[in-house]
Amino acid sequence: MILTVTLNASIDKTYTIESFMVDRINRPSQCRTVPGGKGINVARVLKELGREALATGFLGGSIGNVIAQGLDREGIKHDFVRVEDESRLCIKIVDPKNGTQTEINEPGPTVTELELEALVSRIDDLVRGCDFLVLSGNCPPGVPADFYAHLIRLARKRDVRAVLDASGEHMAEGVKAAPYMVKPNVSELSELTGQELCTVEEILAAAKSLREYGIEVVAVTMGRSGAVVTDGGQAWQAVPPEIRFASSVGSGDSFVAAFLDSLLRGDSLSEALAWGTAAGAANATTYGAGFCSKSSIIDIRQGVTLTQIA
């Protein structure tokens, strides 16, 4: 089983508005409301792939109730810690005519020290016997910078491989705890290493440099250019075929889900990279995070180009 942690779960409302304009009345042609947050997205795709997953994290207030109800409707297993403050609402406006995507994301609930301790205790119980602990997404107010690092060390004590997909100080502190795998995008890796990364060679060199922390696998997603993965020695790049693009929201989470699913099937790192890339591209053909179908992932996998680059 895979345990996913979403510290800042949300209700995601995605509006499709052609020719979206500011300071105007805009009327959506489509509206979709679903539980959101990176760990929830990962669990959604794992469920679609037939892999057992459990989502945990924080939920609060009436929005937290709506998130839990939405997860129940989707059949996504969950065991969240309830907090006093209200969970967040995130609004995404997709303009297919102009190819733009506008996001308005609330900061989320302010979490207390007692609530943090309750989640640590819950994860310590839930993670036992899991194959992976996935820590992904930003953190709500009140969560210390080293919280992910603390959970990574907890997972190691339970002989569970931790996967980190975060940004900013939470990523910077998390890598110091030596998770099994990190999955930044190019922007997050640039921020982490303190240098602007433009070419595949620069991205790969930065990814390999993380080996000094004891991280075994670094996978970097690069949008339409696909992704690279390295174990510090060998490295591969996967490039997806041309797709009809809809939205990139959740593509990184879909990548993580399919990548880990492939590893659990016994595939090599390069094959896991190909499946992760296919899932990220499949997600980009849909509106809503993590709603790619297994059949679309399989179809796109046939067109993924995989190359060893080191």
Per this entry, what is the length of the chain? 310
Token pair, residue 86, equals 């209200």
Q: Find out whether 236 and 270 touch, Cβ atoms under 8 Å.
A: yes
Q: Find out whether 184 and 227 touch, Cβ atoms under 8 Å.
A: no
Let me know if 64 is exposed, middle or buried by CB neighbors in 10 A (0-12, 13-18, 19+).
buried
Distance CA 219, CA 230 (A): 7
CA 57 from centroid of its chain's CA atoms:
14
Residue type, 307: T
- Catalytic site residue 72? no
253, 261, 267, 299: the catalytic one is 253
Direct distance between the N- and C-terminal alpha carbons of the chain, in angstroms, rounded to an integer: 32
Q: Which residue, 271, 264, 224, is CA-closest to 132?
A: 264
Residues 190-197: contacts with CB under 8 Å, at least 24 apart: 191/167
Active site residues: 253
